[in-house]
Amino acid sequence: MPPLVLFALQLLTLALLLAVLYRPLGDYMATVYSSTRHLRVEKVIYRLTGVNQDAEQTWPIYFRSVLAFSAVGILAVYGLQRLQAFLPFALGLPAVSEQLSFNTAISFVTNTNWQSYSPEATMGYSVQLLGLAVQNFLSAAVGIAVAVALVRGLARAASPTLGNFWVDLVRGSLRILLPFAAVAAIVLLAGGVIQNFAGFQDVGTLAGGTQSIPGGPVASQEAIKLLGTNGGGFFNANSAHPFENPTAWVNLVEVLLMLAIPFALPRTFGRMVGDNRQGYAILAAMGTFFVLSVSLLSALELGGRGTAPVLAGGAMEGKEQRFGELGSALFGTTSTLTSTGAVNSMHDSYTALGGGTTMLNMMLGELAPGGVGSGLYGMLVIAILAVFIAGLMVGRTPEYLGKKLGAREIKLASLYILTTPTLVLVGTALSFGIPVIRESVIGTSILNPGLHGFSEVLYAFTSAANNNGSAFAGLTANTPWFNTALGVAMLLGRLLPILFVLALAGSLAAQEKVPVTAGTLPTHRPLFVGLLCGTVVIVSALTYFPVLALGPLAEGLL
């Protein structure tokens, strides 16, 4: 059978697996966040941490809890890196520099997993396990908690509170992420992903040379790296490394892991607001973008336009033989449409328009299906805007799920959608606009000449502000400018949207529900799905069109 038919079969397999997971996983998550019962181990944790598990929080308290937990997380990951020389299982590696520790701490706590460093030469097992892998769980649990708080805001009527952050955090970590990650880790192990503490092992090769084979607790970290849409590689080559992603079937499992929770959360949302059809509408919008994007990137990479791909006979630079162009395009699409940022092929070496597509995926706001939690709350904010726009067109007060959308709600939604583009565009502009910085950016950081070099910088800020973490990795980002600017972009790109979402949730929760009338716009019909998709394109993608024209579009069309 021709490769394209086989690839279509692979996509169908993926769709089938996601469809099988949708109801049970979505319902399970709804139960986890709705249940009033606590597990015994959870009660012990609440006692140890001093949490009153049955006390609900108002939105400002919920947000301050997120803030406190993030701040403590950043300090902990920073401290672990700075003290690496004194830690056991550090492979003899020295302390990580101040700037790099700052960047990496923010990166992992914000669910971004941008890496300005090469892990096998920088991070020992202790930092990977105690710092990075722990944040892979926790940043994911925070993301889901915030999404659930917004859903509660929509579901509740006249409620001053949104739930308890600490309870949501612990439940997300222990009841959802931990069991799924453990099963996934064993599947990955069976596929060939390593799990040991052996360090580097020297072997004499067949041809008489030597090779230093790395070890490490990789499977346990790989599982949560993908399941929590984190993306930070144990190795520099990330999921292109055969010890992280050894075969084509493991590649499909890894794609499934990235998509499982984000695609099931609309079900959780539907369940919690008491109307599963609302979940299907959100799912339909997410699925539409996913199918379009994976088709586009596959066609572009298989088409192999550009000087080097044409000369070589295919766009295989930076791609692994076992995945080929199509397996790489599937992973690349998944990684940039979620907030994962893992790569199984080097996006910097994609065709110009293919690389541009991965950027566009992130610029859509990572909501198709998006990161764990962040994808759902991103899409719900757009849904609120879509209802508002529809309301303006017919001159009615807009309402979503029985909640009136007034000036306050629309202001918060607007602030949400303005945050990321501002960070991306200002960061990119400053990189080239300030002479001293431009010198360092062009002289030290950029690898590829010409338009592609501009794309590397644009990609970096797009990735950081959207908390994705993938890169046009030719960029040397371990410089004072990028470590600092990207660190700030990641932090603001995470916390400001969370602030606006929680404020929105608080304001929605406080409202009474208005009854459905003949004038209410139904938000579960295809018409609304179309409106939602249109709004996504208008508010996110079009913002970036001019800047895309300066980089990937110019390179690809010239």
Partner 1 sequence: MATTRGTLRQYGVAVRALLVLTLILGVLYPLVITGIGQLALPQQANGSLVRVDGRAVGSALIGQSFADAEGTPLPQWFQPRPSAAGSGHDAAASSGSNWGPENPDLVAAIRDRQSAIEKLDGVSVSAIPPDAVTASGSGLDPHISPEYARLQVHRVAAARSLETARVSALVESMIQERDLGYLGEPTVNVLALNAALAGMDEKN
Per-residue b or e along 210-236, where b marks 16 or more CB atoms closer than 10 Å to that residue's CB = eeeebbbbbbbbbbbbbbbbbbbbbbe
- Using CB under 8 A, which residues numbered 54 to 73 contact partner 1? 64-65, 68-69, 71-73
Least Å distance, CB 456 to partner 1, is 8
- Report the C-alpha gap between 552 and 455 in whole angstroms: 6
Beta bridge partners of 399: 404
Least Å distance, CB 125 to partner 1, is 9
Least Å distance, CB 25 to partner 1, is 20
Told to check if 185 binds partner 1 by CB under 8 A, we report: yes
DSSP state of 365: T
Contact residue for partner 1 among 83, 174, 299, 410 (CB under 8 A)? 174
* Phi, psi (degrees; rounded to nearest 5) at 158: 50, 45
* Phi, psi (degrees; rounded to nearest 5) at 306: 115, 160
- Report the C-alpha gap between 55 and 163 in whole angstroms: 8
Binding to partner 1 by CB under 8 A, coded x per residue (else -) over 512-551, reads ----------------------------------------
Binding to partner 1 by CB under 8 A, coded x per residue (else -) over 455-494, reads x----------------xxx--------------------
H/E segment holding residue 288:
helix 276-303
Nearer CB in complex with partner 1: 228/421: 228
Nearer CB in complex with partner 1: 19/198: 198
- Using CB under 8 A, which residues numbered 315 to 334 contact partner 1? 315-324, 327-328
Nearer CB in complex with partner 1: 262/324: 324
- Report the C-alpha gap between 60 and 71 in whole angstroms: 16
Contact residue for partner 1 among 106, 123, 134, 142 (CB under 8 A)? 134
DSSP state of 239: G
Told to check if 241 binds partner 1 by CB under 8 A, we report: yes
How many residues lie near partner 1 (CB under 8 A)?
Answer: 120
Nearer CB in complex with partner 1: 83/248: 248
Length of the chain: 558
Q: How many CB atoms lie within 10 A of CB 267?
A: 24
Contact residue for partner 1 among 15, 17, 130, 389 (CB under 8 A)? 130
- Near partner 1 by CB under 8 A, which window of 19-27, 123-131, 261-269, 378-386? 123-131
Contact residue for partner 1 among 18, 25, 30, 45 (CB under 8 A)? 45
- Using CB under 8 A, which residues numbered 197 to 216 contact partner 1? 197-198, 200-201, 203-207, 209, 211-215
Nearer CB in complex with partner 1: 355/371: 355
Binding to partner 1 by CB under 8 A, coded x per residue (else -) over 75-114, reads -x--------------------------------------
DSSP state of 117: S
Least Å distance, CB 104 to partner 1, is 16
Structure tokens at 335: 């990684």
Told to check if 192 binds partner 1 by CB under 8 A, we report: yes
Structure tokens at 102: 């700052």
Q: Give the three-class secondary structure for 514.
A: coil
Told to check if 344 binds partner 1 by CB under 8 A, we report: yes
- Using CB under 8 A, which residues numbered 246 to 285 contact partner 1? 246-249, 251-252
- Report the C-alpha gap between 285 and 532 in whole angstroms: 7
- Near partner 1 by CB under 8 A, which window of 242-250, 260-268, 398-406, 417-425? 242-250
Nearer CB in complex with partner 1: 421/506: 506
- Report the C-alpha gap between 345 and 332 in whole angstroms: 7
Q: How far is CA 5 from the centre of its chain?
A: 29
Q: How far is CA 246 from the centre of its chain?
A: 23
CA atoms within 13 A on the CB side of 126: 19
Told to check if 143 binds partner 1 by CB under 8 A, we report: no
DSSP string for residues in 38-56: --HHHHHHHHHHT--TT--
- Report the C-alpha gap between 132 and 208 in whole angstroms: 37
Structure tokens at 557: 């069309």
Contact residue for partner 1 among 113, 220, 338, 540 (CB under 8 A)? 220
Nearer CB in complex with partner 1: 193/492: 193
- Near partner 1 by CB under 8 A, which window of 117-125, 375-383, 462-470, 478-486? 117-125
Three-class HEC string of 332-357 = HHHHHHCCCCCCCCCHHHCCHHHHHH
Told to check if 351 binds partner 1 by CB under 8 A, we report: yes
Contact residue for partner 1 among 2, 36, 40, 50 (CB under 8 A)? 50
Is the separation of the CB atoms in 459 and 220 below 8 Å? no
Told to check if 164 binds partner 1 by CB under 8 A, we report: no
Least Å distance, CB 276 to partner 1, is 32
